[in-house]
Structure 1
Amino acid sequence: MCGGSLAAMKKRLPGLALCVGIALVATGLGKLLPVVGAPVFGIVIGAIIAAFLKPGAATDAGASWSGKYVLQASVVVFGTGLSIRQVLQTGWHSLPVMLGTLAIALLGAWLIGRALGLDGDVRTLIGVGTGICGASAIAATQSVIRARSADVAYAIGTIFTFNVIAVVTFPFIGRALGMSDHSFGLWAGTAINDTSSVVAASFSFSAAAGAYGIVVKLTRTLMIIPITIALALYKRRQDARAAVAGDTAVDGSAQTPARVSWNRVVPLFLIWFLVAVVVDSLGGIPGSWHPYLSELGSFMITVALAGIGLGTRIGVLRQAGFRPLALGASLWVLVALSSLGLQAVTHTL
């Protein structure tokens, strides 16, 4: 096992080294142009290298590992600078906006998706991906509804497209609207799909917006649990009816009830984030460490975003076709506007 782990790490090193190199360049550019920020430079440089230099399989493992695990670790690091009181207050104050945008995303996916003639699984995957937390929600949902791999690919490609657009455009829109750190963090945390994109966009706006956006996003991520349980129960009822009717799967095997895959429903890094918050709240982390940990977290975010940029595959977006992209675009605009509207109504803008 140890030998296998060492071999896997050696395989990741070239891609991870490239991500770190991109992050160093992006950090320098971010200091020159703070209005853009290092995370945005990181994902853009990574995407440009992927599109034109095509580093290929030599860096794929490290870039993929960086985009997932370095990002998750960065969220845990930021948890060391937050107290339990901050997390609970932020989560509670964001609930009206968060639940409202989730309802709009799911209802919009059903109505607009039907109007576009999209399959029910595609509508569900794009709806939960937009309303909750991007690829993580899609993976959790796929584990219970057993969607086709092609549908999952279309949904992830669609979500990724608007994640990238959000990272680049949201900070500029927020500054143009004169948003505060608090309101922008709430907007990013409720209106941007994937955790990585929320982190990149909110920290590009400001460190305070980033800290707020992370808590809002992780609170929103918890919505995976009730949504996935509801979908699992619905799927089990469908399978039970099919079994009574004597239906079988396409390959002739009997349908089996969907089960909730808990390790995919509750992200492990979310638990470690909460552990970090508790440790800091109990005084386990010296206050003098906080600035350095914040800098480390910011750099890790840029490394992770470089990996995500390197993993950009234009071909996946082309395969998705017009209709999933049209649904994704519609939901993206609806959620972004409704988040601002709900903030105005609840006086959190």
Structure 2
Amino acid sequence: MTSPPPPNAPAADSGRADSGPSDSGPSVLDRVPGLALAVGIAVVATIVGRFVPLIGAPVTAIVIGLILATLRRPSARFTPGIKTASRFVLQLSVVVLGSQLSLAQIARVGVESLPVMLGTLVICLVAAYLIGRALGIVGDLRTLIGVGTGICGASAIAAVTPVIGAVSIDVAYAISTIFLFNVTAVLLFPVVGHALGMSQHAFGLFAGTAVNDMSSVVATATTYGPAATQFAVVVKLVRTLMIIPIALVLSAWAGRRIAAAEAGADPAPARSRVNVFRLVPWFLIGFVVVAAANSIGLIPTATHVPLSAVSVFLITVALGAIGLSTDLAGFRKAGPRPLILGGALWIVVSLASLGLQFAFGLA
């Protein structure tokens, strides 16, 4: 169930793969007010996030943005900058995220981890389609909740949002839904791990595949032990790579959907006219290039922590802008069904992670 875009929402075609890394139209000066507002929100959210790490800066930013938008909706002079922050800055954060990955990490995680990571992803996406359809949730909101739960929370939503051109209300609902169950995982998973007698290695794999955002993964695994934390972080980083194939598939699907809508006909005739290279979003290319550079040592190890902080801050800026452009009236109209979908997927992924570990003798 997809709500109509609010007045200040990013344009629905912002996810086209053939769009460049920046908007066209407004000048740099036109963007300054909205960007400054989004950055200000991000700074405050970052400070709050340090005192309340369980919530984190990104979620805090979207809440602040929502509160400000509720108290007083930003005027038109803020719109260009808000759109830039919720679009280009969002894309840039994904590129910087590549600095945390290397091809060698995939090998270190080992073949034993891949069946669980891939299995939980496939099960989650299939469940998102089936359960979402049964609940009457169609379109972008179902997709965002599915990829957010199956891959890596806010980062996956950040990557997919510009690809499919999701409106801000769907992004806000998806992130809020996933955050709720991340907090539940932080509190519940260590208890489950001890009850099942899971090893540090097994629990790290469980946390890395069944919890989404990195802050929540770290919080969950740290409670269990340092070895679990180290393994969970590596699993989580490798799991982030699943953004690439999923976003490419969604990009191709979105391109066909747009072509069919423009032609007013079945998508099949337009399929041959689609330029495959234009289906690859610029920020995903950047993500792969940065990850490859990190693999061969072009990105110094000493910069990993600062770059990780930069990526989180950029996501925080973008989510603050999304909060500012969110229509809470439309948010309420979505009803409880998306929350039910998020809860169902969280349970499915958690059980799938445990089940696959036991099936492969990893628990």
Give the TM-score of the pair, scaled to structure 1: 0.69
* Residue type at the aligned position of 1:332: G
AA aligned opposite 1:288: A
Is the 1:109–1:126 contact (alpha carbons within 8 Å) kept by the matching residues of 2? no
- CA–CA distance in structure 1, aligned partners of residues 39 and 161 of structure 2: 28
Q: How many residues in Structure 1 have an aligned counterpart in Structure 2? A: 303
- Look up the match of 2:174: 162
What residue number does 1:109 align with? 132
For 1:298 and 1:139, locate their aligned partners in 2 and report how far apart those are by CA, in whole Å: 17
Aligned to 2:310: 296
Specify the alignment match of 1:56 in structure 2.
75
Measure the CA separation in 2 of the matches of 1:23 and 1:124. 29
Q: Superposition RMSD on alpha carbons, in Å?
A: 4.1
Structure 2 residue matching 1:346: 3-state secondary structure: helix
Counterpart of 1:27?
Answer: 46
Instruction: State the partner residue of 1:330.
Output: 340
- Supply the distance in 2 between the matched residues of 1:5 and 1:159 (Cα, whole angstroms): 23
Are the counterparts in 1 of residues 145 and 178 from structure 2 also a CA contact under 8 Å?
A: no
5 Å matches for 1:1-349? 7-87=26-106, 92-93=114-115, 94-110=117-133, 112-113=134-135, 118=136, 123=138, 125-132=140-147, 157-158=169-170, 160-178=172-190, 183-189=206-212, 198=213, 213=236, 215-220=238-243, 222-226=245-249, 257-259=269-271, 262=276, 265-318=279-332, 320=334, 322=335, 326=337, 328-347=338-357
Cα drift, residue 308 of structure 1 = 1.8
SS in 2 for 1:333: helix
* Alignment partners' CA distance in 2, 1:96 and 1:287: 31
Aligned to 1:146: none
SS at match of 1:177: helix
Give the 3-state SS of the residue equivalent to 1:222 in structure 2.
Answer: helix
Query: What residue is the counterpart of 2:199 in the other structure?
Result: none
Unaligned 5+ segments in structure 2 are 1-22, 148-155, 194-202, 223-228
Work out the percentage of aligned pairs sharing the same amino acid: 28
What is the Cα deviation at residue 221 of structure 1?
A: 5.1
1:333 and 1:89 map into 2 onto residues whose CA distance is 32
- Give how far 1:305 is off: 2.0
Q: Aligned in 2, Cα 1:172/1:107: closer, same or farther, shift over 3 Å?
A: closer
Q: Per-residue deviation at 1:95?
A: 0.5
Per-residue displacement from partner, 1:79-127 (whole Å, max 9, x unpaired)? Answer: 22321122566693510110111111122234x14xxxx5xxx635554
Show structure 1 runs of 5+ residues with no match.
Answer: 143-151, 190-197, 240-248
How much has 1:28 moved relative to structure 2?
A: 1.6
Q: Deviations over 1:289-329 (max 9, x none)?
A: 22222222232222222112212211333455x5xx52x33
Q: CA deviation at 1:13?
A: 0.9
Distance 1:188 1:69 in 2: 27
Shift of 1:167: 2.5
Q: Which residue pairs with 1:194 in the alignment? A: none
